[in-house]
Amino acid sequence: MSELYKNKLPGKIIENKYSKKMRDIFQRIQIEITNREKRPKSVLRNTIKIPRQAENIILNKNKLGYKTMAKKVELTKNQLANVAELFEEIPNSQIIDKTINNAISKYRNNNNQSNVYIKVVLINVLYKTAIINTPKLANHIFNKCKEIDKKLKKGDISVIDDIRHGHKIGTNGESKKERDFYSFATKYAHFHNPKAFPICDNRVIRLLAQANRQLLFYDSKFSQKGLRDYQKYKSVIDSLAERLCISGWGYKKIDQGLWLWARNLYNPESFKSLSPSFRKKLKSIIGQ
């Protein structure tokens, strides 16, 4: 438990960002941590009445549910290039994209319901997008096929909202509370027109938000929630590419590098099935 709490207080942030009351709370927490390092988090909070806001700042708790130390993200062109190259060593990564690309090439238009279903199932299974009712989503895309096909070909980003919303698939399989299939929509659009649509991933969103604090590649502040606006997300990706001089890579290579970097940073346990040599290479490149 000691490692969970040690050195989590964000230095200058305490001085500049938070009120005197919050700074006092942080100081009390630090004293309690020093004196009672082995005390569980729940007991620690109850003992000194730590507000949830303060606890989340200390543990850097995010919407994905992870509790990790705040880590600096200093992306460089060479590092990202090496990470993207390493992506190709992930087992089955190439065959997965080839399988989807073959299906898209054969069934590019969305005017045939069974063909749309094939594409939806492939992307959902191979990219693990957690669609709970693939037939219904395929039918949703099929019913809008003329509009969707036109926008995909043109590179009109409004197609993302056309796909992610309006399907009436609920969180429990019901239509009362519709799920937002944002990530799936970006993947579906990307495979139809990879030059126009970058893929969006929740961990990449978090990585971009942290990286911008160091690189300042985007001309205004943005939140993770703000990047669920696809126009904003694409603009941020383009700004990063321009800053690192990697616009010529294409969205696929940029996505692969960012995805692997974010996965290693926020969910390294998912790489346990990969070889030790792969994990060692990745750690040596990123340094985290």
Sign of CA dihedral 202, 205, 210, 215: positive
pLDDT tens digits along 74-87: 788 999 999 999 99
CA distance 65 to 76: 27
pLDDT of residue 45: 47
- Those residues of the chain that have pLDDT short of 70 are 1-72, 171-176, 288
Question: Residue 61 has what DSSP assignment?
Answer: B
pLDDT for the residue numbered 80 = 94
Tell me how far apart the 2 most distant CA atoms of the chain are, in Å. Answer: 67
- Phi/psi of residue 170, each to 5°? -90, 170
pLDDT reported for residue 25: 64
> What pLDDT, on a 0 to 100 scale, did the predictor assign at position 69?
44
Q: What does the domain layout of the chain look like in residue ranges?
A: 2-59, 77-90+199-286, 93-189
Contacts 24+ apart (CB under 8 A), 252-258: 252/190, 252/194, 253/84, 254/80, 254/84, 254/198, 255/190, 255/198, 255/199, 255/201, 255/204, 256/83, 256/84, 256/87, 257/80, 257/81, 257/83, 257/84, 257/87, 258/80, 258/201, 258/204, 258/207, 258/208
Specify which residues 67 forms β-bridges with: 61
Chain segment 44-83, per-residue pLDDT in tens? 444 444 455 554 544 444 444 444 445 667 788 999 999 9
Look at the chain and count its residues: 288
